[in-house]
A and B are shown apart, each in its own frame.
Chain A
Amino acid sequence: MTQDVQIVLDAIALGSIYGLMAIGIGLVFGVLRLVNFAYGQLIMAGGYAIALTSDRSPLVSIAVCFAVVLALSLAMELVAFRPLRGASPMTMLVATFAISYLLQSIALVRFGSIGKFAVVYPELSSFVTVAGVSVRWITLVSIGVAVLACVLIALLLGRTSIGLQMRAASIDPATARLLGVRANRVITVAVLVAGVLAAVVAVILPLAQSPLVAPDTGLRETIIVLVGVVVGGIDRLVSATLGGFTMGFAVGMLSGYLPSTGSWPFTSSLYLDSAVFMLVIVVLLLRPEGLFTRSRRTAVERV
């Protein structure tokens, strides 16, 4: 019983981290119609920022991490996303794929393939017992940070002028521009907010998962989250976020309950990824427009 609670909590924590990434990807998609495959490399860059400043105090590391990730986000927007405005969604997706590959190659050449230790506040990995259930602090912290981030994003989108403009731009970019919404400003803000979320994940992820940052850090997570975002429904931020959360939760639950050995596909945790992706295929077939979308009329017909 207590073990079940533990698994569920861990799954929720993983879902929270993936949910944060889903918000980042969904925000940028909303205003740019661009699926950013290179999102994971922002997390990787943040991880390296932490790893390379590990001799400094944790707060300095975190500050450097945020600075690096935000700078890289802005650079991506200026150098890559801006020239791609109006390109076909497929070109944009493959272009971000190329940027992702480029950043991974640079990391591989610069830092090598061996992971670097990128943990701040390692004491957060220790266990705490709450009502007879022992969980790691980071599990609780992840959930708390995700809830806080959701509240802040909701306030940003619902209570501020720029948030209103972002929502307008994502529903109907052309009309929004006619009404005086400045596209570049809205996009820059969305990219920066997504960058902040990537930096938060860069700090949490090494604590929650593998403590080492390597060139492929963030890649698997991005793939799973991208899939989750589309499965949830990429047209609305809420459904995209729920999609990301659900994927994280499903991965967490499956890795908690699948036995570790088994010789046939889908019978052991070796086949975790295929089990998750099979579920995705089934969901996409049943509800191609997204699991959490309301009407059937918003089917995505963009790529």
Chain B
Amino acid sequence: MRRAVDLLELLGPVALLVLVGVVGGLGFVDPDLEVEFLTALVSVAMVVSLYVFVGNSGVVSFGHVSFVAVGAFAAGVMTIPVELKPTITPGLFPVLAERSVGNATSLVLAAVVGGVFALAVGIPLMRLSGLAAGIATFAVLGVTHNILANWEKIGPGPLTLTTVPETTGLLQATAGAVAVVTIAFLYQRSRFGRKLRAAREDPAAARAAGIDIHRERLWAFTLSGALSGFAGGLLVHLQGTLHAGDVYLELAFLTLAMLVVGGVGSLWGAVVGALAVSALDSLLGDAESGDLGFVNDLLGHPLWGGSRLVGVAAFMAIVLILLPNGLTRGRELRLLSLGRERPAPQESST
């Protein structure tokens, strides 16, 4: 019985993601809308990657978008055709300019680059805690963005990377998001995840119990960086183009807000937050462009231009102010009949 309850924590989010993938793939949604489903799934991958560190350790990180960024640029630069590299990325180091890899290899590469970068950054930074840690990860993001946006030997620099193969279809997006969720679940159920969560709840007691907080945080940071890099790979193969500005402050804010909106403390929260914000974003976008019939009927015209931007921001601000613990209040998915002590939050939030 207990196993069944535990497994629900994994199967719930996975089922939801597969549902999103299937609904997106069925004929009845407009092909134009498919990209919105893809974006939502890639958002889930990014937010869950962030959750692996932030949720389990309780330390806020603004820096994860830098791992998304290096993963995305690594996967992007290495998959554009060799013959196009001199025009798109003329300044590239010869070793990067002379070869290209396939889609799957590039995703692995993105994960490796993200993980190695996170490990290198984490070794010194994980000694910090509290506000200093948050600000230091911010500084990492600043450095990463600044270098990616200017250094033409490793990427397009101030230009936009184009002609990246658009291989992130519904299958890859769904499988990728499910993979990230599964790894996040396995991690938080593992010895390492439990140690880190113990340290989050009570650092002093955890230390007294022999937990090396620095090392546990570093593990989580590295894993989370690798997953973020992988999500970045999914992102670049979805967009087909990439500019350093795409993976900077706005994305950092959006992913963090999605996580907090859903509820920082649980995997379910990360998935729900990412999907809820993505869904609202898509709905408002469609209403703005006049694709939603009932909005047109109700108002007599499409939703005002800019509603999407303001609406999403307002939604996140309101949720954060009124429900500081997020839509799921930081709990995992539980069904009433199977629940142990607490009543379960239902799926009402999606």
Contacts and interface: CB of A to CB of B under 8 A. Distances in A.
A301 interface: yes
Given A271-B146, A277-B146, A105 B321 contact: no
B151 interface: yes
A39 to B, nearest CB: 15
Given A80-B321, A95-B317, A303-B131, A281 B309 contact: no
Given A98-B257, A288-B128, A299-B130, A265 B321 contact: no
Contacts of A270: 146, 150
A284 B128 contact: yes
A274 B140 CA distance: 8
Contacts of A106: 310
A96 to B, nearest CB: 9
Given A94-B256, A102-B310, A106-B310, A230 B132 contact: yes
Contacts of A88: 324
Contacts of B91: 263
A230 B143 contact: no
B320 interface: yes
B127 A265 contact: no
B60 A303 contact: yes
A230 B131 contact: yes
A102 B313 contact: yes
Contacts of A80: 317, 321
Contacts of B312: 105
B132 A300 contact: yes
A110 B309 CA distance: 11
A37 B317 CA distance: 13
B314 A303 contact: no
B260 interface: yes
A82 to B, nearest CB: 9
B334 to A, nearest CB: 23
Nearest to B149: A270
Given A271-B147, A274-B142, A301 B256 contact: no
B130 A94 contact: no
B26 interface: no
Interface residues of A, number: 53
Interface in B132-154: 132-136, 138-140, 142-143, 145-147, 150-153
A287 to B, nearest CB: 9
By secondary structure, the B interface counts as helix
B143 A109 contact: no
Interface string A267-303: 0001111101110110011001100000000011111
A270 B149 CA distance: 9
A281 B140 CA distance: 8
B210 interface: no
Contacts of A300: 130-132
B150 A91 contact: no
B231 to A, nearest CB: 20
B324 A227 contact: no
A136 to B, nearest CB: 27
A93 interface: yes
A208 B272 CA distance: 45
B253 to A, nearest CB: 5
Contact of B306 (A91, A105, A302): A105
Contacts of B153: 263
Given A271-B150, A274-B142, A281-B136, A303 B130 contact: yes
Interface in B305-334: 305-306, 309-310, 312-314, 316-317, 320-322, 324-325
B139 A227 contact: yes
A223 interface: yes
A280 B314 CA distance: 32
B310 A109 contact: yes
B159 to A, nearest CB: 14
Given A84-B324, A90-B60, A273 B142 contact: yes
A105, A231, A299 interface centre (most CB from chain B within 10 Å): A105
Contacts of A278: 139, 143
Nearest to A266: B147
B124 interface: yes
Given A80-B317, A105-B313, A299-B130, A273 B59 contact: no
Interface in A76-109: 79-80, 83-84, 87-91, 93-95, 97-99, 101-102, 104-106, 108-109
B135 to A, nearest CB: 4
B313 A108 contact: no
B143 A274 contact: yes
B309 A301 contact: no
A35 interface: yes
Given A226-B135, A274-B143, A303-B134, A105 B309 contact: yes
B134 to A, nearest CB: 5
A239 to B, nearest CB: 13
B129 interface: yes
A276 B146 CA distance: 11
Contacts of B135: 226-227, 230-231, 280, 284
A94 B260 contact: yes
B125 interface: yes
Q: Please give me the 4 A-B residue pairs with the lowest Cβ-Cβ distance, nearest first.
A: A109-B306, A102-B313, A274-B146, A277-B139
15 contacts: A80-B317, A83-B321, A90-B58, A94-B256, A98-B316, A102-B317, A106-B310, A109-B310, A223-B142, A230-B131, A273-B143, A273-B146, A280-B139, A281-B139, A285-B125
